[in-house]
A and B are shown apart, each in its own frame.
Chain A
Amino acid sequence: MLGSIRARLLVFSAIPSLLFLIVGALVVLGLARGIQREDFIDTLEVELFQFVAWAHVNDDGTFDPQLPGATRFETAFSGWYYQVFQMNDARGIDVVATSQSLQQARLNIPNIPEDSNRWFAETVGPTGDRLMIVVQRVRASTLADNRPIPNPDDQFFIAVARSTEPLNETNQLLYRALGIGIAIGVVYLALSTIFLVTFTIAPIQRAQRSLHAIRSGDAKRLSGSFPREIEPLAEEINLLIDENEKVVERARTQVGNLAHALKTPLSILNNDAQEGDTSLSNSVREQVALMRGQVDRYLARARVAATSQVLGARTEAAPVIARLVRALSKINLDKGIEVSQNVPEGLYLRGEQQDLEEVIGNILENAFKWAKGRIEIHVRKVDEDLVFSVCDDGPGLAPDERPQALRRGQRLDETTPGTGLGLSIVSDIVSAYGGEVELDEASIGGLEVRVTLPSAR
């Protein structure tokens, strides 16, 4: 997962931010609720203290139920209630006074702790809503303002309750506000992360596209401006491409030199061996022919291998073919061969000009050798490939002779001069490009050679 920069940016930027946002929201929520509850309890206590201050017992020790109070204690089921009660011997509750808001109902008092004089509890109110209740234990003598009463040690409990409904309502508001806040936060985070990722990755993707263009032969070097972090990488790649070209050029020169160095002595040996008819001269002739075949084959292959390493090479087909046709027509002028070319402009081979020249040159040379009066050349683009077709009206090849013609050092015709390597070199070069050579019967009667090579855009 961390293999991608996009994922890293997400993991190390968006996810912590999101967690921070959520934790923050929870803290705010907790604080808000705490403060609200505190406030709620404070109001309740203030009411309680008022009631405690107002409450008093009659001289006979009974509680005086006439208590003042705000209207909210008088409106039926307003959510504000009070209740004064005493504990009887059976630990039951004897109510001595209630607020009008309670009507006939009574507050449900939870267990009374033995050891505290004031406590809070939650209970269910007369309308089924939740109440927060605060209860104060008061001695009867306290309520009698030090007047003598018969039962100074009696205990009264004054309970003030308030519905927590408003609390829920404000909580709802709080939740909604927080929800909206979090949603905005998440959207903001998502957008900023997308922008961050896009703008951070954009130059990398640009570099990638540029590299792809080099590999597919549409560009020679990495171009455009890159951020400071990527710039050195682009420079290094360009240097690497230059170096690559130099190495290939050097290899090619050396291969050429080797070819020159080997071919001349082989020619001399071969021609000297033509003189006699002894077993030695025969053997020399045979071996020289083999060596020549091998040298040509491996030189062609080494050259192609070096060539296919060159990045970014592209060659337009039309000018190369036109030049070859012009040259070959000139030297075959006396044969009066008519050449028709159907080569649209703007078709590019993903490869070196020299290789295209070798392939088309050898095929055309063959066609000129055999044609009676007509050669047709077509090039067309099929998907990602260029298909070159060269037809002649010569004798052609029988289907069973065709595979042999593409094999190394094979000459089907021993009487016409030539090394016989033409088509096998074509086959070597084309296969180095991952292409294909097919031999077929031409519509104009002779041989059709069809070559498929990769196209550059």
Chain B
Amino acid sequence: MKILVIEDEPAIQRQLIEAFKEANYAVDASGDGEEGEYMGESGSYDAIILDLGLPGKDGISVLKSWRANGVTTPVLILTARGVWSERVEGIDAGADDYVAKPYQIEEVLARIRALVRRAAGHVSSEIKCGPLRLDTKSTRVTVEGNPVKLTSLEYRLLSYLLHHIGRVVSRGELVEHLYEQDFDRDSNTIEVFVGRLRKKLGVDVIKTVRGLGYCIEDPEKVNGEATADS
């Protein structure tokens, strides 16, 4: 899971970055409207936090040009004035949710979690796959009720695959969504992480699709199809 924070106030930007890293997200950040717009268009983010009052180019314009250029990433806007016309304007420009300043970080976290989940088509904050459960709220992973301790990157990997359950995810896509912009990327390390993750989980949920990537199959759907076949 990778998010983009566009916020010009350094202290707030720092707090957001810290909080989201702590919640096992990869975080890129910008304090400028035009730079942020470019990053949002080129990088693959699972969600974007956008402050409306930005130097360079204001948030509403940034948002409008993203939507005009086909960027569908969920966007959470931060509104400072807290007046409703600003929120409505933001939503009309294509925002998916808003948080009014002054806000609590937990609230921003909760909204982003919900946006990512919603974009992936999940309703509950807990994603299940057979004996495996991932709670996006507490960032806890359990297998048959037993907690599994994961590193931030391993969690991100599992979370991304689970959010896109039943779909084959390429290594390139994983790299895009797991690493921060200035990270030295090496798609080979993905295999290492997947191997470690399989070992820690102890259950065989992550399938390798040769030449394409990885996939976590939805057991309910597989079972359903099986029943239909028989």
Contacts and interface: CB of A to CB of B under 8 A. Distances in A.
B102 A263 contact: yes
A256 B79 CA distance: 12
Interface stretch (A90-98, A216-224, A323-331, A434-442): A323-331
A354 B107 contact: no
Interface in B1-24: 9, 11-12, 15, 19
Contacts of A274: 104-106
B32 interface: no
A263 B80 contact: yes
19 contacts: A259-B82, A260-B81, A263-B80, A264-B9, A266-B102, A267-B12, A268-B9, A268-B12, A268-B15, A274-B105, A323-B88, A326-B92, A334-B123, A353-B85, A354-B84, A357-B84, A358-B84, A417-B110, A417-B111
Contacts of B103: 267
Contacts of B105: 271, 274
Interface in A232-277: 256, 259-260, 263-264, 266-268, 270-272, 274
A292 interface: yes
A139 to B, nearest CB: 121
Nearest to A328: B91
A418 interface: yes
Contact of B98 (A260, A331, A333): A331
B53 interface: yes
Contacts of A260: 53, 80-81
Interface string B55-94: 0000000000000000000000000111111011001100
The 8 closest A-B pairs by CB, nearest first: A361-B84, A417-B107, A357-B84, A267-B102, A327-B91, A268-B11, A327-B88, A271-B15
Contact of B104 (A270, A323, A330, A333): A270
Residue of A263, A326, A327, A331 most packed against chain B (CB within 10 A): A331
B167 interface: no
Given A263-B82, A271-B104, A272-B11, 16 more contacts: A260-B53, A264-B9, A267-B102, A268-B11, A268-B12, A327-B88, A330-B96, A331-B95, A333-B118, A334-B118, A354-B83, A357-B83, A358-B84, A361-B88, A417-B106, A417-B110
Contact of A292 (B11, B102, B118): B102
B126 interface: no
Chain A contact residues, majority secondary structure: helix
A256 B52 CA distance: 14
A418 B122 CA distance: 23
B185 interface: no
Nearest to B53: A260
B118 A264 contact: no
B101 interface: yes
Interface in B187-216: none
B97 interface: yes
A353 B83 CA distance: 11
A330 B92 CA distance: 9
Interface of B: 9, 11-12, 15, 19, 53, 80-85, 87-88, 91-92, 95-98, 100-107, 110-111, 118, 123
Contacts of A272: 11, 15
A365 to B, nearest CB: 9
A240 to B, nearest CB: 27
Contacts of A296: 82
Contacts of B91: 327, 330-331
A93 B84 CA distance: 119
B167 to A, nearest CB: 19
Contacts of A353: 85
A267 B103 CA distance: 6
Contacts of A326: 92
Residue of A267, A296, A361 most packed against chain B (CB within 10 A): A267
A372 B91 CA distance: 22
Given A264-B12, A354-B85, A417-B110, A327 B92 contact: yes
Given A323-B88, A331-B96, A259 B118 contact: no
A270 B102 contact: yes
B88 A417 contact: no
A296 B92 CA distance: 25
A268 B14 CA distance: 9
A249 to B, nearest CB: 14
A293 to B, nearest CB: 10
A315 to B, nearest CB: 12
B9 A324 contact: no
Nearest to A285: B104
B86 to A, nearest CB: 10
Contacts of A263: 80, 82, 101-102
Contacts of B9: 264, 268
B87 A361 contact: yes
A9 to B, nearest CB: 51
Contacts of B53: 260
A324 B84 contact: yes
Contacts of A417: 104, 106-107, 110-111
Contact of B80 (A259, A323, A330, A357): A259
Contacts of A361: 84, 87-88
A354 B19 CA distance: 34
A433 B103 CA distance: 28
A327 B92 CA distance: 7
Contacts of A271: 12, 15, 19, 104-105
Contacts of B12: 264, 267-268, 271
A332 to B, nearest CB: 9
